[in-house]
Structure 1
Amino acid sequence: MPQSSAQVTAAEISRIAGVTRATVSNWRRRHEDFPEPSGGTESSPLYDLESVRAWLASRGHASAATPSEELRTMLRLRTQSGGGGGGRSEDLLLLVLAAAGGPTEALTAATRLPDAELVARAQRDAASAAGAVPAADADAVRFEAGDVAVLRALYACVRDEGGQAALGVLAERELEDSAASGAYVTPPPLADLLARLVPGSPARVLDPACGSGTLLAAAAHRGARELYGQDTLPVQARRSAVSLMLTAPEATVAVRAADSLRADAFPDLVADAVLCNPPYGVRDWGHDELAYDPRWAYGVPARAESELAWVQHALAHLAPGGYAVLLLPPATAGRASGRRVRAELVRSGALRAVIALPAGASVPLHIGLQVWVLRRPEPGGPERKSVLFVDTAADAVTTRTRGGSRSASVDWEGVTTRALDAWRAFTEDPDAFKGEPGAAHAVGVVDLLDDVVDLTPARLVRASRAEADPAELSAEVAATRRKLTEAAEALARTAGREEWSPAGATAREWRTATASDLSRGGALTLLRTVPDSVRTRAQASSGGTGGGGKPETRAVLTGSDITTGSGPTGEPMGLYDDTAPVIAVGDVLVRAVANTEGPMARVAGGEDAGALPGSHVHLFRPDPARLDAWFLAGFLGAEENIAGASTGSTVLTVSPGRLRVPLLPLEEQRRYGEAFRHVHELRAEARRATSLAEETARLLAGGLTGGQLLPSGETAAEVRGRGGDSPH
């Protein structure tokens, strides 16, 4: 069967085979039957891809690449060869949508078609989906012979990993190209937080600057069934529409391509909730032409206040009592040009909360963004006397990247818990809300309406620190110090428990196998979460959820949980059904993203059992008669192993099948396993001691500066006796 083949470099061959480039060089020198170059130059030869694959198969080196990595490679090769294909990115998006709705057998059949038939089939499929995607033209869909490798890989990726995986690969280059224009993805944990700040389960949700649709997807996971989006970039609108149709196939999806402020695509829409991460710092947003727009019920935004224009656009689309949650830059809270609009938002009761996020929560990473929660006032509704302010800056965790530099990461569990706990307590009874000194405080409307109307949370929650009771704070400090002392003693005992012998004059060398090889041999099973589109097809074919009833709600173990050593903290949010893999004691869990320091792997214990692996977690289930779990976790998570199996530039994604494991007898595995278990305990004790030290220092510093605690050796009677004299 004639099939087109791309040309690959030695580096590409190493990725396909899951070996180093040095190994590929050795193959070229040692094996006369290694394929001859089919192009390129003497210093940078190119090889026929199918010939290389046939040679690898003859040597027992099956591809270690996942279907998504295969698609990524084919797209990269097409670009490197000068874009020989005619398929545009929007055509491929349409093809993903069409393919995700087809049965597995049809996708398999498509991958086996001859080149000409495959091109014709893909063109028909993509054109059939054009009517559901904004600004898509069925007559403009064109695929050519140069697209065959990409088309074959795309069908296989959708079949094996789902439409969202294929869509993510297609979007990677688009996101890189659009970064300069300010189009950024809202991180999933932040999108989830914004959606959860809306009380109840709103059915109709609008995002007027939807980008890739992350916020609307988060709303769909929480029960929204009508999703409306608009974005000024047509490619983003198309991508958002496809993504939402894959994420929420039962929801009504309407996405339009236009500037929401200048050309509102939904002028009559009254939504239950609005979620938005608008563009920041835009001066040409239509200030002059929109000066008399009826949306400016709280004042005409100044030319430098495009963010306050988005705030009022969101409020204008809400039903009375509906909520809007926007992600905004910190300058919006205090710029002099926005004072009058901010004052009216506070005075009317429309502004309900401002939540400060740690730096690094979202782009731009160097500043701490803020979440504004607003509610459209109801005629004759209750008077709103206060506004909630929350500062989550304490939930930034400083880590060291694999390059050696220090960076701030976000403790999303801490941020989410702090923000939602304060918000829920405030909404239940604003007048009785006590807050948390230094973290959350409800400020009266009268106190906010001064000459500047500065709504910066850090300033307002710090002002409440003096309200803490000195005796209660002193007792809390004493209890935390006791825990710190106990943790330090446990860490010292763990660190001094073992002796480690040198291996000899040189380091020990291993004979290894890839995880893919071990999986084929039955030594372990590699499990992954069922993608949405695959699950949807399976349910459609079985006439239900696959189990005959509503799936059980389970916690989700995330990549962040592996890093921090916590138990499962994620939520299913409708992503999983009863066919998803469930974690069992003894499973080995590996993070799928390798950008930050910290453990990459761990063995599942009792607290993990019954949870689901998150979308960024690989689950390895070893056969205990052949593989020791702690031995496997230690070597899978090794720094060099992770580096060799990772791809990407800004985001390092781990290909699980390419991870390598030494081939050792079971008894020797167990000795290494005990050593790795000790390393795990040492890391856990160190993490606990560090956390308690930070908490103790925070309480002491806050108590000293807030006036609740005195320096060591001083008494309250001595301070009163001095009458608060100034230092001399």
Structure 2
Amino acid sequence: MPQSSAQVTAAEISRIAGVTRATVSNWRRRHEDFPTPSGGTDSSPLYDLEAVRAWLAARGHVSAATPAEELRTTLRLRAQSGGSGASEGLLLLVLAAAGRSPEELTAVMESPDADLVAQAQRDATTAADAVPGAVPVRFGAGDAAVLRALYACVRDEGGQAALGVLAERELEDSAASGAYLTPAPLADLIARLIPGSASSVLDPACGGGTLLAAAARRGARALYGQDNLPVQALRTAVSLTLTAPEAEVTVRAADSLRADAFPDLLVDAVLCNPPYGVRDWGHDELAYDPRWAYGVPPRAESELAWVQHALAHLAPGGYAALLLPPATAGRASGRRVRAELVRSGALRAVIALPVGASVPLHVGLQVWVLQRPEPGGPARKSVLFVDTAADAVTGTTAGGRGGAAVTERTRSGGRSASLDWEAITAHAVGAWQVYTRNPDAFEGEPGVAHAVGVVDLLDDVVDLTPARLVRASRAEVDPAELSAEVEAARRGLVGAARSLERAAGRERWSAAGASPREWRTATVSDLARGGALTLLRTVPEGVRSRADGDGSGRRGMRPETARAVLTGSDIMRGSIPTGDPAELPGHTAPVIAVGDVLVRAIASADGPMSRVAGEEEAGALLGLHVHLFRPDPKRLDAWFLAGFLGAEENIAGASTGSTVLTVSPGRLRVPLLPLEEQRRYGEAFRHVHALRTEARRATLLAEETARLLAGGLTGGQLLPAREAAKGDAVRGRGDDSPH
């Protein structure tokens, strides 16, 4: 609908066009016909929306904005014009819209404004009956544009995408701070730390419901949530109703510590990512609360209040897993409570995560695993400590593909998406599972996992920091084994350096001239509609993506018969498929074929974003966080497609999110070039890929070799060669020194 008075920012133009802010700034400088600002300030200009859309349409950019981006922009414009329906009503509308077919949603979108608003009102009222505590909101004529955008977003991108946009806007409007989603890989890790199959699960600080959704994927059928922000509580209720329709969902809005909505509830498991560093959590008014069975939490230790709140809601023998800041493990004020948690056997494990695992990104968070003691149960003699900090950024890379494994250490705080979650989960969950089977016989892994006796922990400080306790076990490393590991790494480094030299010697480019080349582009969505490629993804059983077409590529291969699963980390580090097919329960996964273009679904600057499948990937299943593009070889060259799809600016323009950047595949753009010219670009991109792979491999091997040498020398397992030291000393005296 025409909205000539609507104004948009440069950031919104970049989202509409599917490009970066820098590109919009470049358009303003280079194109005289770019729309002039119609409002705002010199530093923050505003542009007429319809003028911008007309300018973009003339250059082939009109279809770049995803429905989610259109919804985001329309919500802001609605706030300017004073739409009548609150965001709570829109959240309810998502639930109703998600139950309609694409054809029904299209019909509603194409109806006149009055009919559209009336239908939305009926849908929201119906959904309110299905969500306890929800209050329906009336929509007015001024809401027609946003209602139309919401229906389009649900139809094309699903209910979860629409929920994310709505909650994002509501949190901005309420000036809430500290509200963010727990990254999905971290939520899955935390859920896997609960042994067995928990039927009932509580999250007393549920936020957007990521942890409860992870529990539902593992079989939980009674989901309870509470959050202090009403918009978060409603969002979680709607989200869980969509993702786990067979589960009983109960979510309440209130402060869990001050106003527990489930005072008598005992569950099989508690999962929680509570707020950190909160001083005003109710210390004085809750001083005699019966939940403090392990000691009254100090005023500065709100985290220990959440720990005991979780234990109070567990049935005897039930488990809790909480994501906590590292200071909780060692602050002097919490020593007495920590000592009682250890002494009673309630604390079972502390797992340190790499920096960047979740907000705050500059801190290495920890997962505490607790178990409510059972009357007459076994005495707990030790606590498990795991340090996964070594699994940051990437886990393994291969010599070409399939060579020696190398681990890259964290050097700075990165985003959650940059971490090797497969390696982090394998170390954390693997050590925990072995430990729970027989704690007394647990041998651990030097530098990674170590079981420490309760008596050894109960000293004057009761410091539960995993890095301090795990590193103390490194003296157990065998000198001969370490020496052999160092030599293998050194040989790999020499080979990698030679391969890098060969890759760097290939020249496959020339200068474009006085100015960069420009070309017309099309989105992946446009190319898919035109039959130039097919977009496939791994989805829950029974779900069929609109982009999947006729489902080609799904050969009915059962996970247990597949070689492996190709993950996003495999693409990032250039390895063969390493994922476990058992990690895809209840999902339908496409089978990868030679020539498929594979793009990571989580954006990061670490390693390549795309690659072309070869014989080593053929027959593997597609991982959850990978997009598969199957080009028609008569119209698209695979390496040409991979090169442009994985380009930094292309990925940035098609990504959304804050903590985790998710790539929207339909928004990626591809130049429209003749096939012969595509092949020339494709050959160049093939060599670029080889160069990047070899450079990363050499860097990782150099880091690993240096780390092993330094650790061995300082740990006493390796000794410096006497001949080398003598030779260096002689050379240091200079040629004219007396001998």
TM-score > 0.5, shorter chain as reference: yes
* Distance change (3 Å), C-alpha of 1:335 and 1:509: closer
* Distance change (3 Å), C-alpha of 1:52 and 1:468: closer
Matched, 1:446 2:444: no
Instruction: Report the counterpart of residue 629 of structure 2 in structure 1.
Output: 620
Cα deviation code 1:546-595 (max 9, x no counterpart): x9x998578765544433334364879678643x6554332223345545
The answer to whether the 8 Å contact 1:162/1:531 transfers is: no
SS in 2 for 1:378: coil
Matched, 1:283 2:279: yes
Cα deviation code 1:639-698 (max 9, x no counterpart): 344455556777766554454433433333223222211221222222222222222222
* Distance change (3 Å), C-alpha of 1:360 and 1:59: closer
Instruction: Report the counterpart of residue 405 of structure 2 in structure 1.
Output: none
**Matched residue type, 1:383:** A
* Distance change (3 Å), C-alpha of 1:686 and 1:56: closer
Q: Identity over the aligned pairs, expressed in percent?
A: 75
* Distance change (3 Å), C-alpha of 1:712 and 1:147: farther
Cα deviation code 1:31-78 (max 9, x no counterpart): xxxxx99986999786574x9878987997752222222222222332
1:96 to 94, 97, 110: 94
1-structure distance, mates of 2:601, 2:346? 42
> How far is the alpha carbon of 1:473 from its aligned partner?
2.0
1:502 to 510, 517, 528: 510
SS in 2 for 1:201: coil
Instruction: Report the counterpart of residue 68 of structure 2 in structure 1.
Output: 68
SS in 2 for 1:185: coil
The answer to whether the 8 Å contact 1:97/1:242 transfers is: yes
Aligned residues: 689
> How far is the alpha carbon of 1:397 from its aligned partner?
3.4
2-structure distance, mates of 1:570, 1:9? 46
The answer to whether the 8 Å contact 2:568/2:623 transfers is: yes
> How far is the alpha carbon of 1:448 from its aligned partner?
0.7
The answer to whether the 8 Å contact 2:393/2:606 transfers is: no
* Distance change (3 Å), C-alpha of 1:15 and 1:281: closer
* Distance change (3 Å), C-alpha of 1:53 and 1:683: closer
The answer to whether the 8 Å contact 1:487/1:688 transfers is: yes
Instruction: Report the counterpart of residue 692 of structure 1 in structure 2.
Output: 701
Q: How does 1:111-130 map to 2 (within 5 A)?
A: 111-130=109-128
Instruction: Report the counterpart of residue 386 of structure 1 in structure 2.
Output: 382
> How far is the alpha carbon of 1:356 from its aligned partner?
1.0
Matched, 1:167 2:163: yes
Instruction: Report the counterpart of residue 6 of structure 2 in structure 1.
Output: 7
1:133 to 126, 131, 134: 131
**Matched residue type, 1:7:** A
TM-score by length of 2: 0.84
* Distance change (3 Å), C-alpha of 1:443 and 1:714: farther
Matched, 1:77 2:77: yes
Matched, 1:525 2:534: yes
Q: How does 1:315-714 map to 2 (within 5 A)?
A: 315-397=311-393, 407-408=413-414, 409-496=418-505, 498-500=506-508, 502-503=510-511, 505-506=513-514, 509-516=517-524, 517-528=526-537, 552=559, 557-566=566-575, 567=577, 569=579, 577-578=587-588, 581-609=590-618, 617-643=626-652, 645=654, 654-713=663-722
**Matched residue type, 1:502:** S
2-structure distance, mates of 1:39, 1:418? 56
1-structure distance, mates of 2:482, 2:56? 67
Instruction: Report the counterpart of residue 550 of structure 2 in structure 1.
Output: none
* Distance change (3 Å), C-alpha of 1:472 and 1:530: closer
Instruction: Report the counterpart of residue 218 of structure 2 in structure 1.
Output: 222
Cα deviation code 1:166-207 (max 9, x no counterpart): 111212234456785322221111111100111122111111
TM-score by length of 1: 0.85
**Matched residue type, 1:430:** P
* Distance change (3 Å), C-alpha of 1:294 and 1:48: closer
Cα deviation code 1:61-107 (max 9, x no counterpart): 7522222222222223323xx14211211111010011112233321
> How far is the alpha carbon of 1:713 from its aligned partner?
2.1
SS in 1 for 2:256: coil
SS in 1 for 2:450: strand
2-structure distance, mates of 1:714, 1:363? 50
1-structure distance, mates of 2:230, 2:82? 24
The answer to whether the 8 Å contact 1:627/1:666 transfers is: yes
Matched, 1:192 2:163: no
> How far is the alpha carbon of 1:502 from its aligned partner?
2.7
Instruction: Report the counterpart of residue 543 of structure 1 in structure 2.
Output: none
The answer to whether the 8 Å contact 1:206/1:271 transfers is: yes
**Matched residue type, 1:187:** P
2-structure distance, mates of 1:251, 1:236? 19
* Distance change (3 Å), C-alpha of 1:73 and 1:40: same
Instruction: Report the counterpart of residue 152 of structure 1 in structure 2.
Output: 148
Greater CA deviation, 468-477 or 562-571? 562-571
**Matched residue type, 1:310:** W
Instruction: Report the counterpart of residue 263 of structure 1 in structure 2.
Output: 259
SS in 1 for 2:451: strand
The answer to whether the 8 Å contact 2:590/2:621 transfers is: yes
Q: How does 1:228-307 map to 2 (within 5 A)?
A: 228-307=224-303
The answer to whether the 8 Å contact 2:8/2:49 transfers is: no
SS in 2 for 1:181: coil
Greater CA deviation, 296-305 or 350-359? 296-305
* Distance change (3 Å), C-alpha of 1:54 and 1:489: closer
> How far is the alpha carbon of 1:494 from its aligned partner?
2.5
2-structure distance, mates of 1:518, 1:152? 25
The answer to whether the 8 Å contact 2:579/2:623 transfers is: no
Structure 1: tracts of 5 or more residues without a match? 31-35, 400-404, 539-546, 716-728
Cα deviation code 1:457-479 (max 9, x no counterpart): 11111211112222222222222
> How far is the alpha carbon of 1:442 from its aligned partner?
0.7
The answer to whether the 8 Å contact 1:512/1:660 transfers is: no
2-structure distance, mates of 1:653, 1:291? 44
2:84 to 83, 86, 91: 86
2-structure distance, mates of 1:648, 1:335? 33
1-structure distance, mates of 2:450, 2:229? 39
The answer to whether the 8 Å contact 2:559/2:581 transfers is: no
**Matched residue type, 2:108:** A
Structure 2: tracts of 5 or more residues without a match? 396-410, 548-553, 725-739
> How far is the alpha carbon of 1:148 from its aligned partner?
1.0
> How far is the alpha carbon of 1:125 from its aligned partner?
0.9
> How far is the alpha carbon of 1:8 from its aligned partner?
5.1
Instruction: Report the counterpart of residue 404 of structure 2 in structure 1.
Output: none
**Matched residue type, 1:514:** A
The answer to whether the 8 Å contact 2:540/2:587 transfers is: no
Instruction: Report the counterpart of residue 406 of structure 2 in structure 1.
Output: none
1-structure distance, mates of 2:677, 2:567? 31
